[in-house]
Chain A
Amino acid sequence: MDEALLPLSPQVFHILVALAERDQHGYGIMQDVAARTGGKLRLSAGTLYGSIKRLLAQGLVVELRERERPRDADDDPRRRYYRLTTLGRKVAKAEAARMAELLEQAKRNGLLAKRS
């Protein structure tokens, strides 16, 4: 099941990676992704919520209920928090493994300098 969803699009993978760290709202995910890529990947609102909608439908993320929100949560009720599900975590791991495998091969073929 989790394999069938691979490969993930870069945007979706970034969202899952962001949520793997902690439960976040949309804007948080967006800032997180921008920070991690040094501003190179900026998720737009349309892409972000389009992706979240499908991730919810696929069961990779869930929306948090009121009482599940983190303690430091923003009190604006319009903000919705998302959490990675077990399935979501498995899929993200599978994608990470797939990419690591790919990197390994790239290294073997001399496409990437080995870390000293």
Chain B
Amino acid sequence: MDFSQSEANLYRALLYAYPAEFRHEYASEMERLFADRLEAEPHLRLWLETVPDLAIGALREHLHVLIADLRYAVRIFAANRASTALALLLLGIGIGASTAMFSLVNAVLLRSLPFRHPDQLVYLWSPNTRFSGPNIPNELAPNYPDYFDWQRLNHSFSAMAMLSHGGINLVRNNQVRRLQEVSVTGSFFHLVSAAPAIGRAITESDFQPGHEHVAVLSDALWKSEFQADPQIVGRQIRLDRESYSVIGVMPKGFAYPEAGDVPYVMTGKQRTDLWLPLIVTAKQKSDRTDLTSADAAIARLRPGVSPARAEAELKALERNLDPLYPPYMRGWTVMVRSMPETIFGPVKKMLWLLLGAALLVLLIAVSNVANLLLARMTSRAHELGVRTALGADRARLIRQLLTESLLLSFTGACLGVAFCIAAVEGLLWINPGGIPRFENASINGPVLLAALVLALATGFLCGIAPALFASRADVNEILKQGGNKGIAGGGQRVRSVSIAVQVALSVLLLTGTSLLVRSYARLMAVHPGFSSSTLTFSVALDQKYAKPEQRSAFYRDFLAKLRALPGVAQAGISTSLPLTNHDSLSFLEVKGRPGMTEPTETRVITPGFMQAMGVPLLAGRHGAEKDLALKIAPVLVNQTFVKRYLNGKDPVGQQIRFGLGEGSPPGDWETVIGVVGDMHHMNIETAASPQLFQIAMPSDGNAMNFALKTSRPTAALIPEVRAALHSLDDALAIENVETMGQRVDASNSRRTFQTALLAGFAIVAVLLALAGLYALLSQYVAQRSAEIGVRLALGASRANILRLIIGKGLVLTAIGIAVGLACAFAFSRFTQEWLFGISPRDPFSFVLVPVLLLFVACAACLAPAFAATRVDPVESLRSV
């Protein structure tokens, strides 16, 4: 009997799985029935039957309730089309924006690199303690001798590899195409654990003399240039006039390194087109008097070894290797950095910031929708009162109201996903460049899951306040008054608080945005030092031009052809262009000044380059054709060079010579013939560094940059430039065709993207908050029309009424602004790294934003306030 009693109790407890309504109606009868069966039937069989029946039955009853609630909700929404459409739009925008930002965060930060154990991958850098300055990165690849000694001696890594990026000309069907080539050492593919889709990857065997002319193609190149030919492996292709054998094609997802993967190596949206063996000669491997290196060294840490421990080991090795350099070349050390951190670190905070901003917009939207629903509760007070009187309990009402808000939020989320799909398409189309793996953004499982979670969360957030208030309302009060008071009073308070919160969030977003927009404006106002209309491109020579005199002869002839083109006013050559991540640094000695300069940016330019770039001449003269014949090149220096190193002296006529450092063999004394304006080189945000330009026809290196001052559009001029090039050599190609203005835009792209998106979010946030304020006051006026009527009847002037309504709106706004400013102030130091030329506590942003917001809030209050003054005292008193 006791046993049966506890079984009956268990059954009673299990009945709680049913909806309350059903339970109230049938639970006691079902218990009785269960007790009857306990007496009559074997217990085990009864339980085996009862448990699934309970599960299915309870689920079915809940479903019935849900369907009934949903039907009811649809009827309610259909009866309030305008406010329902508005709520859906608000949620759609909020959820859409948040999901779109999440898809970016997911593509860039959450999805890991497509390599096995990417956390074990590191970059090995070798900065030099003697080189430091704003224009010198620490991310310098190790010199070959160091690299090979580390490889031989270390215990931290299971594999090491080097890579070097360059351009190469592919000639097919008499067409030349410039490709991005990455030369790699034998362990590269094994190290990143990438296997080709077809054929094989480069291995150590490809480094045997005579076997090095092999190439692995990227999927994109294979498709675009070889029509995805399945027989490609074994075919010969012409690269820089030499024949290479295709040995493999990489799968679609693999194009490492892509732009942004290796600091300062690729620009814009460049991806690797093909991989070749990196040939390092025996001399390069051991000669520490002639510095040569690849672009980057990568390594895989042994399991359990941290980057810091590996760095300590290599540093210890390097302390023994550094003395092997000539004294003036010493000072090398080691930096080991995680690969994922290197690639994604620079954009991490920015993307989280954008997601945070989108979530703030969603929060404001949610709060607005909650207000809408709360306002609707006022008109539904009677209905809810009747339902309560008919026996619906509090939980039942809450359930009904939450079902309504969840229906709203899920429908809103569907809209949001549609909006997100469009937004992601738009973002991909805009792709600003400078954000690694940006093109991987897509609508996938995790993104849809995020939308689902947001829908659930917003449904609860929107619905919980109205539901609690409605269910707490006093039935008697409501039915007696036939209307409003029981719910409206409490609702107004919550809605007021929510408006203040919305204003506070908007202020937070707006102040942050203002800081960034003002930084952006400051940046735009910076003159880059050159003309943005100058057209630039580069041409790389191949092994046909092995001798320096062959190269300079080619450049001279090509320059002459360029100058002869119609519409070309000026043309010149430089070994390095601003904003291209390319640099050349030298120690210089100024006659009469003790010691060496800091590493200084030096370039070789032809006469005409400065004029083509639109750089002003500040003293002396530009180089002229006659200077090219001189044995010792004359030099130009920029303004910053003069300030830093020629302080107080007349720069023209000063003498400067090159040297590697203390004790190194110096070059010839060269004479300064002119001073030119500063050009920003690294980017627009970094101030110009001292620069020196030798006037000569370049003969070193194989890629050279050309600048043209022209009034003609790029599209019209380029075919003629190409024809001029091909009239000299039809196996060469021009690449990196861009005006300097485009280079500036590309250099600022990440900031432009961030600022534009953030400004968009801030504008939406403010509009939503103001719409919320307007709606709140309108409803307030509608509800208080009787009270306002009485006031007017008792002699209150219209001005008094205006003051009353506007005052209420402005008090809420002011509270919101105060809270928002305090938050913005507290958060301001986090924005430091994105600011340019202004302080994180920029007074303009912290004063103007609130003043502006107060003014627009006034505007939002005006319409309801004037509506209040038009209340007819007689009418409103009659209706009391």
Asked if B29 contacts A26 (CB within 8 A), the reply is yes
Asked if A79 contacts B29 (CB within 8 A), the reply is yes
Which of A27, A42, A47 is B32 in contact with, Cβ under 8 Å? Answer: A27
Q: Which of B20-28, B237-245, B313-321, B338-346 contacts A (4 or more CB under 8 A)?
A: B20-28
Which of A42, A45, A47, A50 is B33 in contact with, Cβ under 8 Å? Answer: A45
Q: Which of B47-55, B296-304, B658-666 contacts A (4 or more CB under 8 A)?
A: B47-55
Interface membership of A105, Cβ < 8 A: no
Interface membership of B457, Cβ < 8 A: no
Asked if A44 contacts B49 (CB within 8 A), the reply is yes
Asked if B25 contacts A45 (CB within 8 A), the reply is no
Interface membership of A40, Cβ < 8 A: no
Q: Which residues of the other chain, A, contact B30 by a CB distance below 8 angstroms?
A: 26, 45, 49
Q: Which residues of the other chain, B, contact A26 by a CB distance below 8 angstroms?
A: 29-30, 33
Interface residue count on the B side (C-beta < 8 Å)? 21
Asked if B31 contacts A78 (CB within 8 A), the reply is yes
User: Interface digits, A6-41 against B, CB 8 Å rule (1 contact, 0 not)?
Assistant: 000000000000000000011100100000000000
Listed residue (A26, A45, A53, A80) with the most chain B CB atoms within 10 angstroms of its CB: A45
For B32, give the chain A residue with the smallest CB separation. Answer: A78
Listed residue (B30, B31, B37, B56) with the most chain A CB atoms within 10 angstroms of its CB: B30
Q: Chain A nearest CB: distance from B10 CB in Å?
A: 14
Interface membership of B60, Cβ < 8 A: yes
Interface membership of B57, Cβ < 8 A: yes
Complex CA–CA separation, A85 to B60 (angstroms): 26
> Chain B interface mostly helix, strand, loop or mixed?
helix
Asked if B26 contacts A78 (CB within 8 A), the reply is no
Given contacts A44-B49, A44-B53, A78-B31, contact A49 B26 (CB under 8 A): yes
Interface membership of B833, Cβ < 8 A: no
Listed residue (B28, B53, B56, B60) with the most chain A CB atoms within 10 angstroms of its CB: B53
Which of A45, A52, A78, A79 is B53 in contact with, Cβ under 8 Å? Answer: A45
Given contacts A27-B36, A53-B22, contact A46 B29 (CB under 8 A): no
Interface membership of B149, Cβ < 8 A: no
Q: Chain B nearest CB: distance from A82 CB in Å?
A: 11
Complex CA–CA separation, A59 to B297 (angstroms): 82
Asked if A30 contacts B33 (CB within 8 A), the reply is yes
Given contacts A44-B50, A46-B56, contact A76 B32 (CB under 8 A): yes
Complex CA–CA separation, A27 to B37 (angstroms): 8
Asked if B36 contacts A45 (CB within 8 A), the reply is no
Q: Chain A nearest CB: distance from B624 CB in Å?
A: 100
Asked if B33 contacts A44 (CB within 8 A), the reply is no
Q: Which residues of the other chain, B, contact A46 by a CB distance below 8 angstroms?
A: 53-54, 56-58, 60
Q: Chain A nearest CB: distance from B395 CB in Å?
A: 19
Asked if B25 contacts A42 (CB within 8 A), the reply is no
Q: Chain A nearest CB: distance from B52 CB in Å?
A: 8
Q: Which residues of the other chain, A, contact B26 by a CB distance below 8 angstroms?
A: 49, 52-53
Q: Which residues of the other chain, B, contact A47 by a CB distance below 8 angstroms?
A: 53, 57
Q: Which residues of the other chain, A, contact B598 by a CB distance below 8 angstroms?
A: none
User: Interface digits, B14-46 against A, CB 8 Å rule (1 contact, 0 not)?
Assistant: 000000001001101111111011000000000
Given contacts A27-B32, A27-B33, A79-B32, contact A45 B57 (CB under 8 A): yes
User: Interface digits, B55-85 against A, CB 8 Å rule (1 contact, 0 not)?
Assistant: 0111011000000000000000000000000
Complex CA–CA separation, A45 to B17 (angstroms): 14
For B17, give the chain A residue with the smallest CB separation. Answer: A46
Q: Chain B nearest CB: distance from A26 CB in Å?
A: 5
Given contacts A53-B26, A78-B29, contact A45 B60 (CB under 8 A): no
For B36, give the chain A residue with the smallest CB separation. Answer: A27
Q: Which residues of the other chain, B, contact A50 by a CB distance below 8 angstroms?
A: 57, 60-61
Q: Chain A nearest CB: distance from B806 CB in Å?
A: 53
Q: Which residues of the other chain, B, contact A78 by a CB distance below 8 angstroms?
A: 28-29, 31-32
Complex CA–CA separation, A50 to B26 (angstroms): 9
Q: Chain B nearest CB: distance from A116 CB in Å?
A: 39
For A48, give the chain B residue with the smallest CB separation. Answer: B33
Q: Which residues of the other chain, B, contact A76 by a CB distance below 8 angstroms?
A: 32
For B49, give the chain A residue with the smallest CB separation. Answer: A44
Complex CA–CA separation, A19 to B53 (angstroms): 23
Q: Which residues of the other chain, A, contact B50 by a CB distance below 8 angstroms?
A: 44-45
Complex CA–CA separation, A28 to B33 (angstroms): 9
For B60, give the chain A residue with the smallest CB separation. Answer: A50
Complex CA–CA separation, A47 to B49 (angstroms): 12
Given contacts A53-B25, A53-B26, contact A44 B57 (CB under 8 A): yes
Asked if B57 contacts A42 (CB within 8 A), the reply is no
Q: Which residues of the other chain, A, contact B31 by a CB distance below 8 angstroms?
A: 78
Asked if A49 contacts B29 (CB within 8 A), the reply is yes
Q: Which residues of the other chain, A, contact B61 by a CB distance below 8 angstroms?
A: 50
Q: Which residues of the other chain, B, contact A27 by a CB distance below 8 angstroms?
A: 32-33, 36-37
For B56, give the chain A residue with the smallest CB separation. Answer: A46
Given contacts A50-B60, A50-B61, A53-B22, contact A42 B49 (CB under 8 A): yes
Q: Chain A nearest CB: distance from B618 CB in Å?
A: 92
Complex CA–CA separation, A44 to B49 (angstroms): 8
Q: Chain B nearest CB: distance from A9 CB in Å?
A: 13
Complex CA–CA separation, A49 to B26 (angstroms): 7
Q: Which residues of the other chain, B, contact A53 by a CB distance below 8 angstroms?
A: 22, 25-26
Complex CA–CA separation, A47 to B860 (angstroms): 57
Q: Which residues of the other chain, B, contact A45 by a CB distance below 8 angstroms?
A: 30, 33-34, 50, 53, 57
Complex CA–CA separation, A111 to B162 (angstroms): 83
Interfacial residues of chain A within 48-63, with CB under 8 A of chain B in the complex = 48-50, 52-53
Asked if A80 contacts B22 (CB within 8 A), the reply is no
Q: Which residues of the other chain, A, contact B36 by a CB distance below 8 angstroms?
A: 27
Q: Chain A nearest CB: distance from B146 CB in Å?
A: 77
Complex CA–CA separation, A48 to B29 (angstroms): 11
Q: Chain A nearest CB: distance from B51 CB in Å?
A: 10
For A45, give the chain B residue with the smallest CB separation. Answer: B30
Q: Chain A nearest CB: distance from B36 CB in Å?
A: 5
For A42, give the chain B residue with the smallest CB separation. Answer: B49
Q: Which residues of the other chain, B, contact A48 by a CB distance below 8 angstroms?
A: 33
Q: Chain B nearest CB: distance from A103 CB in Å?
A: 31
Q: Chain B nearest CB: distance from A72 CB in Å?
A: 16
Q: Chain A nearest CB: distance from B727 CB in Å?
A: 89
Complex CA–CA separation, A49 to B54 (angstroms): 11
Q: Chain A nearest CB: distance from B591 CB in Å?
A: 101
For B33, give the chain A residue with the smallest CB separation. Answer: A27
Complex CA–CA separation, A80 to B33 (angstroms): 11
Interfacial residues of chain B within 472-531, with CB under 8 A of chain A in the complex = none
Q: Which residues of the other chain, A, contact B33 by a CB distance below 8 angstroms?
A: 26-27, 30, 45, 48
Complex CA–CA separation, A49 to B25 (angstroms): 10
Q: Which residues of the other chain, A, contact B34 by a CB distance below 8 angstroms?
A: 45
Q: Which residues of the other chain, A, contact B58 by a CB distance below 8 angstroms?
A: 46
Complex CA–CA separation, A4 to B61 (angstroms): 23
Q: Chain A nearest CB: distance from B7 CB in Å?
A: 14
Q: Chain A nearest CB: distance from B67 CB in Å?
A: 12
User: Interface digits, B711-747 against A, CB 8 Å rule (1 contact, 0 not)?
Assistant: 0000000000000000000000000000000000000
Q: Chain A nearest CB: distance from B467 CB in Å?
A: 25
Q: Which residues of the other chain, B, contact A80 by a CB distance below 8 angstroms?
A: 29
For B25, give the chain A residue with the smallest CB separation. Answer: A53
Q: Which residues of the other chain, B, contact A30 by a CB distance below 8 angstroms?
A: 33
Complex CA–CA separation, A79 to B26 (angstroms): 10
Q: Chain B nearest CB: distance from A27 CB in Å?
A: 5
A-B pairs with beta carbons under 8 Å apart, 9 shown = A27-B33, A46-B54, A46-B57, A47-B57, A49-B26, A50-B57, A50-B60, A52-B26, A79-B29
Task: Give the interface of A toward B (CB within 8 A).
Answer: 25-27, 30, 42, 44-50, 52-53, 76, 78-80
Task: Give the interface of B toward A (CB within 8 A).
Answer: 22, 25-26, 28-34, 36-37, 49-50, 53-54, 56-58, 60-61
Closest 10 CB pairs of A and B: A46-B57, A44-B53, A78-B32, A46-B53, A49-B26, A78-B28, A27-B33, A27-B36, A45-B30, A26-B33
Q: A26-B30, A49-B29, A49-B30 are in contact. List 19 more A-B contacts (CB 8 A).
A: A26-B33, A27-B33, A27-B36, A42-B49, A44-B57, A45-B30, A45-B50, A45-B53, A45-B57, A46-B54, A46-B56, A47-B57, A49-B26, A49-B57, A53-B22, A53-B26, A79-B29, A79-B32, A80-B29
